[in-house]
A and B are shown apart, each in its own frame.
Chain A
Amino acid sequence: MQFFTSGFFWFIEGIFLCLIIIGLKYWTEERNIPMPFWKWLVILIWILYSGFTIAFIGTCLGENEPAAALKGGMLFSLIAIVSAYGLSRLLGFFRLTRHQPK
């Protein structure tokens, strides 16, 4: 058992996830973007999906399956990028004016 497959690793990943969400919260507040519950849910799903994509590529490389890493990585990354663009429009991330904090 190595650090990266241990429970402690997931504890740290959890902290990172919290920080991502807090950072995103401030970022959306600055831009006056309303963030109802469903938007957070969608974002969380996207983050998990992207995490899956990265872990998939890493796992395939670790298994010495470069073809799977490349093909699967390209497929899943493309879906992640296209869905990120679609979601940013759906969630209104780049539409509203930036709100200057006092």
Chain B
Amino acid sequence: MEKSEDWRKLSRRQFLKASGAASAVMGSAGLGVFGYQAGKDSFSYTGCESFQGQAENFNRQRFAADHATYEKVGVASRVDARTEVIFSRVSSLMRQWDEEKGLDSLDKGLQAYYKKHPYDLKEDLHARKKIFPKRQKDEIKYKKKFVLAKAWSNAMSAVWPPGIRETPERYDFPRGEQYGEPVEPLKMKSPEKTSQLIKQISYQLGSTLVGITKLNPDWVYSYPMWGRGLNPELPLEIPGHWEYAIVIGTPMSWDPMYANPNYGTSFDAYAKSRIIAYRLIKFIRQLGYPARPHTPGVEYDLMVPPIAIDAGLGEQGRHGVMITPELGSNFRPAVVTTNIPMKTDKPIDFGVQDFCKTCRICAKNCPSRAIPMGDKEVVRGYRRYKINSSRCYNFWYSNLGNIGCRLCVTVCPYTRKSNWLHRTALEVTANDPSGMSQRILSKMQKSFYPAPHPQEYYIPSMGGKNESYREPPWWLQTEDFIDIDI
């Protein structure tokens, strides 16, 4: 009897010990599979799944700061969009340049700009004389590889609300009863409630993040970029009703974005954000208030990133792009200017400035070397990293995948999936004032996540290999679907 009790006791002990060992094995295996799922799961594609503003469970209120993390260090001046914005400058140069007359063939504004910035003239002429003609030849030779990527990008931008051709005084305001819009503004209960309402409507319209700020005049172009009903020859007087800025936006589709510079497209998110902005102005006008959309990449009269920073959506990184805690740099915004009274958001500080000091991953990976490795400089009265936009632009038109590059967005350690691993890393760096975790994690990034050499992103005729940061998704691999000689 005693013996059998001993046996039972022993067997229970052995059983529990064995269960413990088996649990260790099964628990470990479970964690491995959990990790695999967490890495692969499409729910980890940041921000694509929500129309409720619940896409990301990041509590940004904790990081609210009294001042945005850019520094004002002198007298600010507004950007002259005709010359200081690369898109309008190069297109003017393309139209006006005459080889024989040289600088004299340009309008006075451009002449003055190029005299002051001879380096930009060199780069822009390089684009005009070399890059664009070469691109036409290269396209015949290499573009087949990107047939699906381009088809997809064009599909994403196929629905594109028409541009504005009227002045703010005419276009922005409600049109009256015959258009179903009130003549007088409706009396809103409080700025807090209006703010809440506008945000929820923006989420419902498909925006992933929304922020509201008072519009800082420093961020409005001094001359308009494309006109949009404004005379490009006249200074842009900021309309009185551009009092508030609502910043909305969406991320670019994950897998193509990870295969930048060739397979991603900015138009996927820009088109979505533009549609949201146009719907939002309709909503605001129905309340009787004026509203105007400003939608990159083509139609806007203000600098969007600093406005988004003021609205508390993120901080500016070394690469010049805004970094949000939820989506990293993978965010394509649009702005709606209005005067409906709203409670504004505070800017946030979650440690990006410290991280960027030591990280430099974007600068090392940039194919055109447009991102500085060194310190910030004073630009128009603000201290910031100065991007060489001419070099960046010239790379866009040197390679043949979807237009643009966005590689700096992709490689940034903040642009990572929304899973336990990267969320934890974000929490640690955001809450570590010593800067140690930032240094350790940026070192890990560099050694754990290898990337092609920057030169390899170029097309073969420029000494490259047409590389992408990561493999394109299966549905953009032309050769698997189309019988085509690549």
- Chain A residues within CB distance 8 Å of chain B: 1-2, 4-5, 9, 12-13, 15-17, 19-24, 26-27, 30, 50-51, 54-65, 67-68, 71-72, 101-102
Which residues in chain B, 17-42, are within 8 Å of chain A measured between CB atoms? 17-24, 26-28, 30-41
Known: A23-B17, A60-B39. A51 touches B31 (CB 8 A): yes
Partner of A27, one of B20, B27, B450: B20
Complex formed: what's the CA distance from A85 to B24 in Å?
A: 17
Partner of A58, one of B17, B21, B27, B36: B36
Decide if the interface of chain A is mainly helix, strand, loop or mixed.
helix
Q: Would you call A13 and B31 a contact (CB within 8 A)?
A: yes
Residues of B within 8 A of A64 (CB): 39-40, 470-471
Complex formed: what's the CA distance from A90 to B190 in Å?
A: 64
Complex formed: what's the CA distance from A22 to B43 in Å?
A: 36
Question: B129 on the interface (CB 8 Å rule)?
Answer: no
Q: Would you call A19 and B448 a contact (CB within 8 A)?
A: no
Shortest Cβ gap from A20 to chain B (Å): 5
Given contacts A23-B17, A23-B20, 11 further A-B contacts (CB under 8 A): A5-B43, A19-B19, A27-B17, A27-B20, A56-B421, A58-B34, A61-B36, A61-B39, A62-B40, A67-B449, A71-B447
Q: Would you call B20 and A2 a contact (CB within 8 A)?
A: no
Known: A13-B27, A20-B24, A26-B16. A54 touches B448 (CB 8 A): no
Q: Would you call B27 and A16 a contact (CB within 8 A)?
A: yes
Q: Would you call A26 and B13 a contact (CB within 8 A)?
A: yes
Complex formed: what's the CA distance from A21 to B19 in Å?
A: 10
Complex formed: what's the CA distance from A63 to B416 in Å?
A: 10
- Chain B residues within CB distance 8 Å of chain A: 6, 9-10, 13, 16-24, 26-28, 30-41, 43, 417, 419-421, 444, 447-450, 470-471
Shortest Cβ gap from B153 to chain A (Å): 23
Q: Would you call A54 and B20 a contact (CB within 8 A)?
A: no
Residues of A within 8 A of B31 (CB): 13, 51, 54-55, 58
**CB closest chain-A residue, reference B444:** A72
Complex formed: what's the CA distance from A22 to B15 in Å?
A: 11
Residues of A within 8 A of B41 (CB): 1-2, 5, 62
Q: Would you call A58 and B24 a contact (CB within 8 A)?
A: no
Q: Would you call A23 and B447 a contact (CB within 8 A)?
A: no
Complex formed: what's the CA distance from A101 to B197 in Å?
A: 70
Known: A21-B20, A50-B28. A4 touches B34 (CB 8 A): yes
Q: Would you call B419 and A23 a contact (CB within 8 A)?
A: no
Known: A63-B417, A71-B447, A102-B6. A16 touches B35 (CB 8 A): no
